[in-house]
Structure 1
Amino acid sequence: MDNPVFVEIQNHIEGSDVFLFMKGTPLFPQCGFSARVVQILKHSGVPFASLNVLENAEIREGIKSFSNWPTIPQLYVKGEFIGGCDIVAEMYQTGELQALLEEKGITQNAA
Protein backbone atom coordinates (compact mmCIF):
# COMPACT_ATOMS: atom_id res chain seq x y z
CA MET A 1 0.00 0.00 0.00
CA ASP A 2 2.32 2.72 -1.29
CA ASN A 3 -0.39 5.34 -1.74
CA PRO A 4 0.09 7.88 1.12
CA VAL A 5 -3.65 8.70 1.13
CA PHE A 6 -4.48 5.00 1.57
CA VAL A 7 -1.94 4.79 4.40
CA GLU A 8 -3.60 7.77 6.12
CA ILE A 9 -7.05 6.23 5.61
CA GLN A 10 -5.85 2.89 7.02
CA ASN A 11 -4.35 4.67 10.05
CA HIS A 12 -7.69 6.35 10.78
CA ILE A 13 -9.55 3.04 10.48
CA GLU A 14 -7.08 1.23 12.72
CA GLY A 15 -7.10 4.08 15.26
CA SER A 16 -10.64 3.45 16.44
CA ASP A 17 -12.88 0.40 16.80
CA VAL A 18 -15.69 2.31 15.07
CA PHE A 19 -14.71 4.90 12.48
CA LEU A 20 -16.93 7.02 10.25
CA PHE A 21 -15.81 8.92 7.17
CA MET A 22 -18.48 11.58 6.86
CA LYS A 23 -19.38 15.00 5.50
CA GLY A 24 -19.22 17.40 8.43
CA THR A 25 -18.75 16.46 12.06
CA PRO A 26 -20.90 14.47 14.50
CA LEU A 27 -22.04 17.78 16.05
CA PHE A 28 -22.61 19.46 12.68
CA PRO A 29 -23.19 16.89 9.92
CA GLN A 30 -23.22 18.53 6.50
CA CYS A 31 -25.36 15.99 4.68
CA GLY A 32 -28.47 14.06 5.64
CA PHE A 33 -26.86 10.67 5.08
CA SER A 34 -23.97 11.45 7.42
CA ALA A 35 -26.44 12.83 9.97
CA ARG A 36 -28.46 9.60 9.82
CA VAL A 37 -25.43 7.36 10.48
CA VAL A 38 -24.30 9.60 13.36
CA GLN A 39 -27.82 9.41 14.80
CA ILE A 40 -27.80 5.59 14.59
CA LEU A 41 -24.39 5.33 16.26
CA LYS A 42 -25.34 7.77 19.01
CA HIS A 43 -28.66 5.99 19.60
CA SER A 44 -26.76 2.71 19.86
CA GLY A 45 -24.46 4.30 22.44
CA VAL A 46 -21.39 3.36 20.44
CA PRO A 47 -18.25 5.44 20.87
CA PHE A 48 -16.84 6.31 17.46
CA ALA A 49 -14.28 8.52 15.78
CA SER A 50 -14.89 10.36 12.55
CA LEU A 51 -13.22 12.38 9.84
CA ASN A 52 -14.80 15.24 7.93
CA VAL A 53 -13.93 14.43 4.31
CA LEU A 54 -14.96 17.93 3.24
CA GLU A 55 -11.75 19.21 4.84
CA ASN A 56 -9.49 16.96 2.75
CA ALA A 57 -10.18 16.45 -0.96
CA GLU A 58 -7.52 13.70 -1.26
CA ILE A 59 -9.18 11.61 1.45
CA ARG A 60 -12.65 12.44 0.11
CA GLU A 61 -11.72 10.90 -3.24
CA GLY A 62 -9.28 8.35 -1.85
CA ILE A 63 -11.77 6.69 0.48
CA LYS A 64 -13.99 5.87 -2.52
CA SER A 65 -11.13 3.97 -4.17
CA PHE A 66 -9.91 2.50 -0.89
CA SER A 67 -13.26 0.86 -0.13
CA ASN A 68 -14.46 0.51 -3.73
CA TRP A 69 -17.62 2.29 -2.55
CA PRO A 70 -18.75 5.44 -4.38
CA THR A 71 -20.51 7.36 -1.61
CA ILE A 72 -19.90 8.94 1.78
CA PRO A 73 -20.53 8.31 4.67
CA GLN A 74 -18.61 5.09 5.12
CA LEU A 75 -18.60 3.13 8.37
CA TYR A 76 -15.82 0.82 9.51
CA VAL A 77 -16.01 -1.51 12.53
CA LYS A 78 -12.77 -3.08 13.78
CA GLY A 79 -11.16 -2.38 10.42
CA GLU A 80 -14.00 -3.94 8.39
CA PHE A 81 -15.95 -1.82 5.91
CA ILE A 82 -19.64 -2.04 6.83
CA GLY A 83 -21.24 0.25 4.28
CA GLY A 84 -22.91 3.58 3.72
CA CYS A 85 -26.06 5.13 5.11
CA ASP A 86 -28.62 2.77 3.55
CA ILE A 87 -26.77 -0.36 4.63
CA VAL A 88 -26.11 0.93 8.16
CA ALA A 89 -29.76 2.02 8.55
CA GLU A 90 -31.06 -1.34 7.31
CA MET A 91 -28.67 -3.25 9.58
CA TYR A 92 -29.76 -1.10 12.52
CA GLN A 93 -33.47 -1.68 11.82
CA THR A 94 -33.03 -5.47 11.58
CA GLY A 95 -30.74 -5.66 14.63
CA GLU A 96 -27.79 -6.83 12.52
CA LEU A 97 -25.71 -3.77 13.41
CA GLN A 98 -26.15 -4.29 17.13
CA ALA A 99 -25.31 -8.00 16.73
CA LEU A 100 -22.19 -7.15 14.71
CA LEU A 101 -21.03 -4.64 17.32
CA GLU A 102 -21.60 -7.18 20.09
CA GLU A 103 -19.79 -9.89 18.12
CA LYS A 104 -16.82 -7.53 17.63
CA GLY A 105 -16.75 -6.79 21.37
CA ILE A 106 -17.84 -3.15 21.09
CA THR A 107 -19.72 -1.84 24.09
CA GLN A 108 -23.12 -0.34 23.41
CA ASN A 109 -24.77 1.92 25.95
CA ALA A 110 -28.12 2.33 24.27
CA ALA A 111 -30.40 4.77 26.04
Structure 2
Amino acid sequence: MSDDVQNWIKQTVTEHPVVLFMKGTAQFPQCGFSGRAIHILKESGVKDLVTINVLDDAEVRQGIKDYSNWPTVPQLYVKGEFIGGSDIMTEMFESGELQTLLKG
Protein backbone atom coordinates (compact mmCIF):
# COMPACT_ATOMS: atom_id res chain seq x y z
CA MET A 1 0.00 0.00 0.00
CA SER A 2 1.36 3.38 -0.94
CA ASP A 3 2.66 5.78 1.67
CA ASP A 4 0.55 8.48 -0.02
CA VAL A 5 -2.67 6.66 0.90
CA GLN A 6 -1.50 6.04 4.48
CA ASN A 7 -0.48 9.69 4.86
CA TRP A 8 -3.81 10.86 3.43
CA ILE A 9 -5.73 8.62 5.84
CA LYS A 10 -3.69 9.86 8.82
CA GLN A 11 -4.21 13.48 7.79
CA THR A 12 -7.96 12.93 7.31
CA VAL A 13 -8.55 11.28 10.69
CA THR A 14 -6.46 13.84 12.58
CA GLU A 15 -7.84 16.98 10.88
CA HIS A 16 -11.52 16.16 11.48
CA PRO A 17 -13.10 15.40 14.87
CA VAL A 18 -15.30 12.53 13.60
CA VAL A 19 -14.51 10.47 10.49
CA LEU A 20 -16.37 7.40 9.27
CA PHE A 21 -14.89 5.23 6.53
CA MET A 22 -17.91 3.46 5.08
CA LYS A 23 -19.46 1.81 2.05
CA GLY A 24 -21.57 4.45 0.34
CA THR A 25 -22.43 7.89 1.67
CA ALA A 26 -24.26 9.21 4.72
CA GLN A 27 -27.25 9.90 2.46
CA PHE A 28 -27.03 6.50 0.71
CA PRO A 29 -25.19 3.82 2.71
CA GLN A 30 -24.42 0.78 0.57
CA CYS A 31 -24.29 -1.88 3.28
CA GLY A 32 -26.30 -2.55 6.41
CA PHE A 33 -23.34 -2.05 8.74
CA SER A 34 -22.55 1.37 7.25
CA GLY A 35 -26.24 2.30 7.49
CA ARG A 36 -26.31 1.31 11.14
CA ALA A 37 -23.12 3.32 11.83
CA ILE A 38 -24.66 6.44 10.26
CA HIS A 39 -27.88 5.95 12.22
CA ILE A 40 -25.95 5.63 15.50
CA LEU A 41 -23.92 8.79 14.80
CA LYS A 42 -27.08 10.75 13.94
CA GLU A 43 -28.79 9.48 17.10
CA SER A 44 -25.69 10.56 19.05
CA GLY A 45 -26.10 14.11 17.74
CA VAL A 46 -22.94 14.25 15.63
CA LYS A 47 -23.03 17.37 13.44
CA ASP A 48 -19.46 17.61 12.17
CA LEU A 49 -19.15 14.19 10.51
CA VAL A 50 -16.79 13.48 7.61
CA THR A 51 -17.59 10.31 5.67
CA ILE A 52 -15.27 8.58 3.22
CA ASN A 53 -16.83 6.19 0.69
CA VAL A 54 -14.31 3.34 0.40
CA LEU A 55 -16.13 2.03 -2.69
CA ASP A 56 -14.81 5.06 -4.62
CA ASP A 57 -11.16 3.99 -4.32
CA ALA A 58 -9.72 0.47 -3.98
CA GLU A 59 -6.46 1.84 -2.53
CA VAL A 60 -8.33 3.66 0.23
CA ARG A 61 -10.53 0.60 0.84
CA GLN A 62 -7.46 -1.57 1.47
CA GLY A 63 -5.44 1.28 2.98
CA ILE A 64 -7.87 1.91 5.83
CA LYS A 65 -7.80 -1.79 6.75
CA ASP A 66 -3.99 -1.68 6.83
CA TYR A 67 -3.95 1.64 8.71
CA SER A 68 -6.16 0.36 11.53
CA ASN A 69 -5.17 -3.31 11.34
CA TRP A 70 -8.94 -3.95 11.30
CA PRO A 71 -10.40 -6.15 8.52
CA THR A 72 -13.82 -4.57 8.00
CA VAL A 73 -15.59 -1.35 7.08
CA PRO A 74 -17.19 0.83 8.46
CA GLN A 75 -14.49 2.24 10.70
CA LEU A 76 -15.06 5.15 13.08
CA TYR A 77 -12.34 7.59 14.14
CA VAL A 78 -12.86 10.22 16.84
CA LYS A 79 -10.14 12.85 17.31
CA GLY A 80 -7.70 10.71 15.33
CA GLU A 81 -8.31 7.58 17.40
CA PHE A 82 -9.72 4.38 15.89
CA ILE A 83 -12.89 3.45 17.77
CA GLY A 84 -14.11 0.39 15.86
CA GLY A 85 -16.73 -0.90 13.48
CA SER A 86 -20.51 -0.98 13.70
CA ASP A 87 -20.69 -3.73 16.34
CA ILE A 88 -18.40 -1.81 18.70
CA MET A 89 -20.26 1.41 17.89
CA THR A 90 -23.57 -0.30 18.75
CA GLU A 91 -22.24 -1.58 22.09
CA MET A 92 -20.78 1.82 22.97
CA PHE A 93 -24.00 3.61 21.93
CA GLU A 94 -26.18 1.31 24.03
CA SER A 95 -23.97 1.87 27.10
CA GLY A 96 -23.82 5.65 26.55
CA GLU A 97 -20.03 5.51 26.17
CA LEU A 98 -20.11 6.65 22.53
CA GLN A 99 -22.20 9.74 23.28
CA THR A 100 -19.77 10.68 26.08
CA LEU A 101 -16.79 10.21 23.78
CA LEU A 102 -18.38 12.29 21.00
CA LYS A 103 -19.24 15.15 23.36
CA GLY A 104 -15.82 15.12 25.06
Question: Match of 2:87, as an amino acid?
Answer: D
CA offsets 1:21-61 (integer angstroms, 9 cap, x no match): 00000000000000000001111110211100000000000
Deviations 1:60-98 (A, max 9, x none): 001001000000000000000000000001000011101
Letter in 1 for 2:84: G
**Coordinate RMSD, CA, aligned:** 1.1
How far, CA to CA, are the matches of 2:54 and 2:102 in structure 1? 24
Q: Where do 1:22-61 residues align within 5 Å?
A: 22-47=22-47, 48-61=49-62
Corresponding letter in the other structure for 2:64: I
* Count of residue correspondences: 102
> Percentage identity across aligned positions?
58
Paired AA for residue 4 in structure 1: D
Q: If the length of structure 1 is used for normalisation, what is the TM-score?
A: 0.88
